[in-house]
Amino acid sequence: MDRRIVITGIGVVTPIGIGCEMFWNNLLAGQSGIAPVQSFDTSEYNVHRGAEVKEFNAEDYILNLDAAHLGRASQFAIAAARLALADAGVEIGSLDRKRAGVSMGTTSGEPREVERFDDAYVSKQLDRIGPEFIQLYPCHVIAAHVASELQFAGVNTMIPTACAAGNYAIAHALDVMRAGRADLMLAGGSDAFSRITFTGFARLGAVAPEICQPFDRFRKGMIPGEGAGVLVLEPLDRARRRGARIYAEVAGYGLSCDAHHMTAAHPEGAGAERAMRQALADSRTNCEDVSYISAHGTGTATNDRLETIAVKRLFKDEAYRIPISSIKSMLGHTMGAASAIEAAVCALAVFSNRIPPTINLNDPDPECDLDYVANSARELPVNIAMNNAYAFGGNNASLILRKRELLN
């Protein structure tokens, strides 16, 4: 069983475009998807902006299941899955479906279903909520619906590790494939814009009023978003045999837990450093070989500072060489989808030797003095990319993607 696992397809649903090509072009151009929130009334809040997906027509992508009977995160996931498979040139009909699996991550699952429940409860009309609640709400439905739509009968896992979930899901898919338990895996994450999430972050004082400006001296916080990212993972030998385009190899990962605080990272970034260190060891990568880092970079005062500390502690002098960008500056924080979309970005970076910018970075925080690719995309050789993600509950995950030409 070939233990070298590669990415052959990418599908994304994002606030700056649906589909890999549109998304990547807009990303490199520094386009922002942040705008006034449309999906619910924010007049009672003191913040009003979010990064919602625009012009998403679920029926375009959901061909077997009934889109009207799916939650939004499931719709995004299915769309991203179909886009990824098309991008990979995979003939779904010719797959051994029992050896095709799904590994997805999320933060909230299908929050609109519980919001509907609560609306009904509060207005004393709970009998409006019927059997569909238990069928549509529990978060595992995201991976389940993708599998049902595509008739994938293999491994099916949902890893709801919040803002790091995408990385966890991709790491798990890597392990599943290396163990020979699947010939093809769809791996990624999905989250829908959520009143609950918006309320929570607003209440924590973590939401920026206008823009997301990671690593900037005047950064005011994160901006909640939504979306989905799905990668097609295959063993290298199968990908080669069918002449697939290979974006990158999934070379390894590291996971750790802060065990410190539910919503704030360890004050010295210790957990984040451990995850990165493990990822480097796992993929046998040296610090000097890392070409690019996709940061967690939420734009909050603490995250960006601690993330910088962790990178410096691990990479030492190399930290000043490695370009690091945060696409949350453009996409906002797409929660469980974030690190999946960021992994896609790393794959695209490795494939095309181009990296996206961190936009809105006009006055860097002196404590964030690394090269954060301010405002313009850049061309440079990208051999090895690292994708970092940190979540509530202290869940940290780092993923390493490697150029196919480096595969022996």
List, by residue number, the catalytic residues.
Answer: 163, 296, 333
- Which residue in 2, 31, 45, 287 binds another protein (CB under 8 A)? 45
Q: How far is CA 318 from CA 289, 314, 383, in A?
A: 9, 9, 15
* Calpha distance 381→354 (Å, rounded): 8
Contact call for residue 117 and another protein (CB under 8 A): yes
Q: Does 157 engage in binding with another protein (CB under 8 A)? A: yes
How is residue 31 written in tokens? 């386009």
Per-residue binding string, another protein, 327-366, x by CB under 8 A, is ----------------------------------------
Residue in 147, 347, 361, 370 binding another protein, rule: CB under 8 A:
147
Site membership for another protein, residue 63 (CB under 8 A): no
- Whose tokens are 């003939």? That residue is 91
According to the binding rule CB under 8 A, does residue 376 interact with another protein? no
Choice from 299, 394, 402, 404 touching another protein (CB under 8 A): 394
> What DSSP letter does each residue of 78-127 carry, written as one string?
HHHHHHHHHHHT--GGGS-GGGEEEEEE-SSSSHHHHHHHHHHHHTT-GG
Nearer to another protein by C-beta: 138 or 364?
Answer: 138
Whether 400 and 279 have beta carbons less than 8 Å apart is answered as: yes
With CB under 8 A as the contact rule, the residue among 35, 67, 86, 153 that binds another protein is: 153
| Residue 139 sits in the site that holds another protein (CB under 8 A) | yes
- Closer of 61 and 152 to another protein (Cβ): 152
Part in contact with another protein (CB under 8 A); list of ranges 128-136, 326-334, 360-368, 370-378: 128-136
Amino acid at 18: I
Among residue numbers 180 through 239, which ones bind another protein (CB under 8 A)? 181, 195-196, 199-205
Q: Does 144 engage in binding with another protein (CB under 8 A)? A: yes
CB of 193 to another protein, least distance (A): 14
Closest separation in Å from C-beta 194 to another protein: 9
The DSSP line for 20-58 is HHHHHHHHHTT----EE--SS--TTSS--EEB---S--G
Number of residues that bind another protein (CB under 8 A): 79
Please pick, from the candidates 63, 126, 380, 406, the single residue that binds another protein as defined by CB under 8 A: 126
User: In terms of CB distance, is 74 or 291 closer to another protein?
Assistant: 74
Q: What is the DSSP letter of 180?
A: T
284, burial (CB in 10 Å: exposed 0-12, middle 13-18, buried 19+):
exposed
Tell me: does residue 301 bind another protein (CB under 8 A).
Answer: no
**Cα four-point dihedral sign 137, 140, 146, 151:** negative
d(CA 46, CA 49): 10
User: Which segments of 285-353 are extended strands (E)?
Assistant: 292-294, 324-325
Q: Is 121 in the site for another protein (CB under 8 A)?
A: yes
Per CB under 8 A, the list member of 18, 37, 90, 159 interacting with another protein is: 159
Q: Residues 6 or more apart from 317 whose CB is under 8 A from it?
A: none
Q: How far apart are CA 91 and CA 97, in angstroms?
A: 11
Residues 240-259: x where in contact with another protein by CB under 8 A, - otherwise, as a string: ---------------xxxxx
By the rule CB under 8 A, 68 interacts with another protein? no
Can you tell me the distance from the alpha carbon of 383 to that of 406, in angstroms, rounded to the nearest whole number?
8
Q: Which stretch binds another protein (CB under 8 A): 16-24, 167-175, 345-353, 377-385?
A: 167-175
The count of residues in the chain is 408
Q: Which of 9, 160, 227, 235 forms a contact with another protein (CB under 8 A)?
A: 160
Choices 22-30, 102-110, 361-369, 381-389 (CB under 8 A): range interacting with another protein: 102-110
Please identify, among the stretches 20-28, 171-179, 239-247, 356-364, the one whose residues bind another protein according to the rule CB under 8 A.
171-179
- Is residue 117 exposed (0-12), middle (13-18) or buried (19+ Cβ within 10 Å)? middle
Nearer to another protein, 172 or 403 (CB): 172
What single DSSP character describes residue 138?
S
CB 274 to another protein: min, Å? 8
Tell me if 286 sits within 8 A of 316, measured CB to CB: no
